[in-house]
A and B are shown apart, each in its own frame.
Chain A
Amino acid sequence: MNLVQQIESEFKLYEHQAQKDDFFEYRKKAFQTFQKNGIPTIKNEEWKYTNLSKISEIGFQTSCVSNLDADALIKAGILNKIESNKIVFVNGCLFPELSVWLEDDPSIICTNLAKARKEHAAIFENHFGKYLPQEEGLNAMNSALMSDGAFIYVPAGKRMKYPLMLTNITDANESNILQQPRNLIVIEKSAAATVIENYIAVGENSSFTNVVNEIFVDENASLEHYKVQRAKGNSYHNNYTQIVQNANTNINQVTLTLDGQWVRNNLHFNMNGENCNSLLYGLYIPDGQQFVDNHSRVDHAKPNCFSDEKYKGILKDKSVAVFNGKIMVHLDAQKTNAYQRNQNILLSNDATVNTKPQLEIFADDVKCTHGATIGQLDEEPMFYLRSRGISENEARKLLLNAFADDIAEKIKIPELVQILEEEIERKL
């Protein structure tokens, strides 16, 4: 059974349940969209270099059952060193016993979707499903059959004291796993939070994780958002993060793609008020036959906003990377400052990068730049370092760390920076 057939049959099963969940109407509509639009193919310009056909033939199961000692797995992970609130999902299902809550203010909320829908109905209804472009086939697929996910709510004027670690574990020990996490983050006026999405995987089988994040950041609020992709093995991962920000907001988003057989990150900023700052940074270090695609879109809809995007890649072996960044400066968005760069270093003759920085400007008083580079490690710095007694290997490490440093310095959590350094060390 291919993926489309599976979704159809699973939806039929769901539809015929006597007891349907609160999302029935929403799911049904999304399912219809999915039936209409299906899974994107390479004929779609946005998916030109990113082929889903192989994945859709694999055949997955949705299953919450896991014999995994998730607690031990998390404790062994380096991110565990970060003192943080924790919420953990395994194969899309909440593992409540692994939650850690350090905040003392009861008005700050982190729970799962099902509970949020019941206990915080007003806030939930205000935001859930309101921002996501549903016409994207994989988004519709998520909406139709989403597993579970986190609901994070920081009320006006409140500040989360600790980062929130949202860990998603794929346990593919028993079978090929399909999971569709769905997260909703609401940061109200003048509030602040840090969220780390942490993806890990175990098991020999394949998995497809299709995530949707809806993030709403109201006036004068700020958000630090990190996504760390470390799901090893035959894991396929698609992620759509839709961020809507109102006036005077600051968002720092860093995407680190380290492991994963196939990863597609879709990141969409909608700057819906004046004086917004949107920072998008990313680093990917694929090796072997890894495939990494970073697709981003920044909509400058209002005047006086600033966006800075920088994605860097270090590619080894036969890995393939795609970068597609689109900055849209709308008619109203005068005095926009928007910067976008994609820089790649290829460490092998067999690695490939397809990069497409895009800028569409409809306003006339703006400052925008974009550009992309693909190259090898420069000979000159290598020779300079070696001429001081530094071995070729150490010199390469120094230079790659320096290359990655641009992104590392955007990360405000030292443990995350440490992971990066270790990854570069490991990948070399």
Chain B
Amino acid sequence: MLKIENLKASIEGKSILNGINLEIKPGEVHAIMGPNGAGKSTLSAVLAGRNDYEVTEGSVDFLGKDLLDLSPEDRAREGLFLAFQYPIEIPGVSTTNFLKTAINEKRKYLGLEPMEATDFLKFMRSKMEEMEMDKSLTSRSLNEGFSGGEKKRNEVFQMAMLEPKLAILDETDSGLDIDALRLVSAGVNKLRNPDRSFLVITHYQRLLDYIVPDFVHVLYKGRIVKSGDASLAKELEVKGYDWIKQEVEAAV
């Protein structure tokens, strides 16, 4: 599904990613952990196509396409989804109108007819039920006045609507209390299936109690320095990141 090879990226001349290698197969859930400043959010931003970052080396193959060559909108249309760490409030744009536009733009890209208004509303209603979203959501402006938890749930709801092949969750747990975290994780788990992959980026292990990953990678100084299964996350929870830092420094 996704194959990252020797990916290097910088911002304003400062190198952040220093050669990432990662392969994600259909249905797999990969977690990326790491201390602050390791490059976690940069990785998600580069994959989603944020243009603040300059890719200096390496390649990313997404379902046979050169991901780095695609505009952010085409990446989304090919099936990539980024759940933002800080979802943006957009007053004046209703969630319904926004999602209808997004879905129909994707359909156009795939050579499909736009969805009829009634079909769209039916589809949205069923997804809202499935994700247990409040009905008032659809008439409100996108994320406007939403609490942190509501915003994150709205990200997961958008994911449900757009049915991506690969979803990147960028620090989705940040700013959430335990109840909100549970709700958001339950939403994500409902969307897990054998064809859909996830890349879960997080600083803390607690999210991974709810969204259990198949693989855990530790990112440090822009490189994946350690990989393992879900137990690696537990180990990090107990021991912190220092021992990994020391391991890395010792190896240099």
Using a CB–CB cutoff of 8 Å, the interface residues on chain A facing chain B are 380-381, 383-392, 394, 398-399, 401-403, 405-406
Contacts and interface: CB of A to CB of B under 8 A. Distances in A.
Contact of A390 (B49, B73, B82): B73
B97 A389 contact: no
Given A389-B73, A391-B73, A384 B84 contact: yes
A389 B158 contact: no
Contacts of A402: 90-93, 141
B102 A389 contact: yes
A387 B82 contact: yes
Contacts of B92: 401-403, 405-406
Name the 4 nearest CB pairs between A and B, nearest first.
A402-B92, A389-B76, A405-B92, A388-B102
A388 B90 contact: no
Interface of B: 48-50, 71-73, 75-77, 81-82, 84, 87-88, 90-93, 97-98, 101-103, 105-106, 109, 141, 158, 162
A403 to B, nearest CB: 7
Contacts of A392: 71, 73
Given A380-B88, A389-B106, A394 B93 contact: no
A39 to B, nearest CB: 41
A197 to B, nearest CB: 27
Contact of B93 (A383, A389, A391, A399): A399
Contact of A386 (B72, B98, B109, B162): B72
Given A394-B105, A398-B98, A387 B72 contact: yes
Contacts of B141: 402
7 contacts: A381-B90, A389-B73, A389-B77, A394-B101, A401-B92, A401-B93, A402-B90
Contacts of A388: 73, 76, 98, 102, 158, 162
A402 B97 CA distance: 11
Given A398-B98, A405-B92, A384 B87 contact: yes
A315 to B, nearest CB: 19
Nearest to B82: A387
Contacts of B49: 386-387
A398 B102 contact: no
B101 A390 contact: yes
B105 A398 contact: no
Q: Which of B48, B92, B162 is most buried by chain A, counting CB atoms within 10 A of its CB? A: B92
Contacts of A399: 90, 93
Nearest to A392: B73
Contacts of A405: 92
Contact of B98 (A383, A385, A391, A403): A385
A398 B97 contact: yes
A13 B128 CA distance: 75
A65 B233 CA distance: 86
Contact of B50 (A381, A383, A390, A403): A383
A387 B76 contact: yes
A406 B141 CA distance: 12
A172 B252 CA distance: 81
Contacts of B91: 402
B75 to A, nearest CB: 8
